[in-house]
Chain A
Amino acid sequence: MFTIGLLIVLPLVVALILLLTKGDTLRNAIVKVAASVLAVASIYLLAGNIGMEVPKKYNLDFEMINYLIILAELFLTAIICWQGVKYKKFGVVALAVAQFVFTVYIEFFLHKIHIENNLVLDNLSIIMALLIGIIGSLICVFALGYMKNYHHHKNVKDRSNYFFFILFVFLSAMFGLIFSNNLIWILFFWEITTFCSFLLIGYTRTSEAKQNAFRALFMNLIGGFAFIIAIYILHNMGIAELDKLLAINPMLIALPIALISIAGITKSAQIPFSSWLLGAMVAPTPVSALLHSSTMVKAGVYILIRLSPIMEGTLVGSVVSLLGAITFFIASCIAVSQQNVKKILAYSTIANLGLIVTCAGVGTYQAVWTAIFLTIFHAVAKSLLFLCVGTIEHGIDSLDVEDMDGLVMKMPKVAAFLLVGIAGMFIAPFGMLISKWAALETLISVNPILAIIVAFGSAVTLFFWTKWMGKIIMIIHPVELNEEFVSKDEWFTLGTLSVLTVIVCITFPWISSGMVDPYTQHIYQHTFNMDRGNILIMLGMLALIMLLPLRLLFQGKEIRHVSAYLCGSNITENSEIYQASQSFHGAAGTVKELGLNNYYLQEYFGEDKYAKVGTIIGVLLIIILLGVTFIR
């Protein structure tokens, strides 16, 4: 209980201190200490409860807390209204006010429901706590070095104290969200994460940033509004707690489940709400890393995974999983046509979240197992990728894949980390593929149509990841090394996350038996285990992939370097003979520079077309989702 309290309260206190801290040195110290404490506390939480079979519940019933929450919500609503009126975003204002009115109505005017347990600790919340506590904290540490470089590169007013303040409030809210059992509390923390991401996206205060921040706010408020209506309906049925909700016959509460799913869908940026996450890329990269990996979008899938057991075999569940699968396909396709790496990463996040949503909608024990693993692997690899990309941006002043030719020569260490991250996202023995494999097997046995959609989507994923990898690993001479500007904090975070990416792959059987299995066991009295032989094969391959690069050290002596074939008209002036020539003789004595560009297949995977189709399908599915709740 103390640890839980610490995880929720400490970041909040630290946030307030950081808001008042102006000096860099002091801030560095505070952030590092706080981050270490959070990481250690979340590990301690695991250590103390490993293999826990029955969730621990905490009453914590103080009227005070409820009043504080109402007060805080009033404050949030007021700020949103003020900002909304100032920038003439009346939709936002309306949603915020409506939500506040509902909250007050439920708290004060509906008959009071006695809350048995406000907080709950089970294996799923431990897993989430680890993700937030370790990855979230690492990102905060990275942000220390990054923000200094950032303000050096960009003409943005330095409000670092405010920036770190919001980061830590965000972490606090995430911890609150995953430990809460009282639905009102969950929604409260839910709204704080929405609000924090609104502030973070708008950090640069450019008109584009403001625009995108409001879009994110608007879409997530729609989700929040759906959530409060669900809570209202449930309250009328006498349910105010998450665990009580999960114990009820899903046929009776189809509408609330659908509404909470919609909230989860908005937060995890599924169609038709995907655009807010893309807009979020205007924020400094640590923000993207945070939103995409351990917080925000993970809050969305978290709530869906929670609901998953009662969605099994229901119409609501089917629609949710269909929506997830279609999101996976569409987002993967759009990623092919993207040149901006942040956009590629954003679409890949949306796609992978789609896969998680698909599994959550299916709701069998195997599907839940898969969804949790997808969440873990994705959080680690995606945070690494975003942070690498942020570092690279400062090195080459670009986010364009086409500018990353030969990155492995210019920024070898960052490129190596980046490659680990990319491999972690889609290559065989690495994490995401392990879970994609489990996902395919689950979906095939439940509904092959979902599996087919995923099959097409994953074929496309292969294309955009590999062509990006190809750009990075090109060997181009001559080389200008450029990565000294990267600070120690940044190296530390990148290194740790790379190691984590590999470690979660190696240790996944133990993660499974220590945390995920007990969770599914408790709910389903069943657990999913991957075949031991297959796990051994995967681990063997992982070892092989790690060892293969040694081959580079032991190459035969008798090799002769030549230039690449350029139709026999290479220009190799002033270079050592083996340095690949970068230009050649064209027709009529001209000199042509060598330039290589990727395919983007706009004709087949154009963003506009797919985004439009995605929105239409998404809206239809949301309507259907609400519609099926009336079918008895």
Chain B
Amino acid sequence: MNYLWIALSFIILAPIEGGLLTGIDRILSARFQGRVGPPLLQPFYDVFKLLQKENTIVTRSQNFYILGFLIFIIITGVLFFCGVDILLVIFVLTLASIFLVLGGYSTHSPYSYIGSERELILMMSYEPMVLLTAIGIYMATGSFSLADIISSGTPVIAYIPGVFIGFVYIILIKFRKSPFDLSMSHHAHQEVVRGIATEFNGRALAMIEISHWYENIFLLGVVYLFFAFNPILGLFMTLVVYFLSIVVDNVSARFKWQLVFKSSWLVAVIFGIINIVVLYVLKMGWK
């Protein structure tokens, strides 16, 4: 019963929070650029408007993949907040992302296609660090179960600060923030137009947007994990990370995919692996 409430509240609250955060993002970004910016609720207005648009498609199957994307992103979040196995959550997230990529491919449109290919490169770039995060959290708490990780009260961040830095690096990719917005971004870059989303409009585009909100809340949830021993600090840090991503978004120019790939693996090696190996050696020493 408890799980049902968690699931329901995630399904209802996450898009509201996600939308609000996007609204804040847009206002802050505008201020950085010396503009006033839209009202806080603008992202919601946009999505409602998309929902009313005519449904035009290139191929019938394309929206099916987007539906899969949305559903599995929601499942990812629900599983995460229900406190199941952290690796399972990661695998479902991957599955969801694959649905999005396949949606882009199915249209046989050059811009969607290049977006999908780039999205795959991004996935390949961040995936090791995501798994390293799970490994690190296990090393720190001795459990894969998110429920146990939270209730253990372990100051996870104290054990794996390096992993945290690595995770923050790749969370920028997941947030689709510059310098990592190669596959689809809110600002249509001329060589990719709108990337994967090029051929999607109306309801499907709204679904992509809402999925993104769900995804953001889930990702901030992972940030919270590092500080879960102190809920207030945890919430504060999620906001810090989100703010940081907005700043980085506004001050950096887009990378080439080569640089994204190399730098994320390098970060995973330097911060992730070294941290984990050091922790492993220390633990062996204690035994």
Residue ranges of A at the interface with B (Cβ–Cβ < 8 Å): 405-406, 427-429, 433, 437, 440-441, 444-445, 447-449, 451-452, 455-456, 458-460, 462-463, 466-467, 469-471, 473-476, 531, 533-534, 537-538, 541, 544-545, 548-549, 551-552, 555-556, 558-566, 580, 594, 596, 598-599, 601, 603-604
Contacts and interface: CB of A to CB of B under 8 A. Distances in A.
A599 B118 CA distance: 9
B117 A561 contact: no
Interface residues on B, range: 35 or more
Contact of A564 (B60, B109, B117): B109
Given A466-B101, A559-B57, A449 B280 contact: yes
A177 B199 CA distance: 55
B131 interface: yes
Contacts of B127: 455, 458-459, 462
> Which 9 residue pairs are nearest across A and B when measured between Cβ atoms?
A470-B105, A564-B109, A459-B127, A455-B131, A475-B59, A428-B95, A463-B124, A474-B108, A560-B56
A427 B63 CA distance: 20
Mostly, the A contact residues are: helix
A251 B195 CA distance: 59
A462 B124 contact: yes
Interface in B102-149: 102, 104-113, 116-117, 120-121, 123-124, 127-128, 131-132, 134-135, 138-139, 144
Interface centre among A447, A466, A566 (most CB of B within 10 A): A466
A455 B79 contact: no
Contacts of B60: 475, 552, 555, 559
A86 to B, nearest CB: 47
B87 interface: yes
A437 B131 contact: no
B105 A427 contact: no
Contacts of A449: 277, 280
A604 B57 CA distance: 36
B105 to A, nearest CB: 3
Given A466-B101, A476-B108, A559-B57, A537 B88 contact: yes
Given A428-B95, A541-B92, A548-B64, A456 B128 contact: yes
A580 B199 CA distance: 12
Nearest to B265: A456
Nearest to B55: A559
Given A444-B135, A467-B117, A534 B128 contact: no
A580 B123 contact: no
Interface stretch (B25-33, B67-75, B173-181, B246-254): B67-75
Nearest to B279: A448
Contacts of A580: 58-59, 107-109
Contacts, number: 175
Given A444-B138, A452-B132, A537-B79, A561 B56 contact: yes
Given A470-B102, A475-B108, 15 more contacts: A427-B98, A462-B123, A469-B98, A470-B104, A470-B105, A470-B106, A476-B108, A534-B84, A534-B85, A551-B64, A559-B55, A561-B59, A565-B111, A566-B109, A603-B258
A604 B113 CA distance: 21
A466 B54 contact: no
B273 interface: yes
A449 B88 CA distance: 20
Nearest to B123: A462
Mostly, the B contact residues are: helix
A473 B105 contact: yes
B173 to A, nearest CB: 13
B263 interface: no
A604 B276 CA distance: 25
A405 B109 CA distance: 12
B61 interface: yes
B58 A448 contact: no
A565 B193 contact: yes
B91 interface: yes
19 contacts: A441-B87, A449-B277, A449-B280, A452-B276, A455-B128, A456-B268, A466-B101, A470-B105, A473-B106, A476-B108, A534-B84, A555-B63, A556-B55, A559-B56, A559-B57, A561-B56, A564-B110, A564-B199, A565-B110
Nearest to B68: A548
Contacts of B101: 466, 470
Contacts of B75: 541
Interface centre among B120, B199, B280 (most CB of A within 10 A): B120
B261 interface: yes
A433 B94 CA distance: 11
B245 interface: no
Contacts of B107: 474-475, 564, 580
A594 B128 contact: no
B119 to A, nearest CB: 9
Nearest to A564: B109
A462 B84 CA distance: 23
B198 interface: yes
Interface in B32-83: 54-61, 63-64, 67-68, 71, 75, 79
A444 B144 CA distance: 10
A287 B277 CA distance: 43
B64 A474 contact: no
Contact of B57 (A459, A537, A562): A562
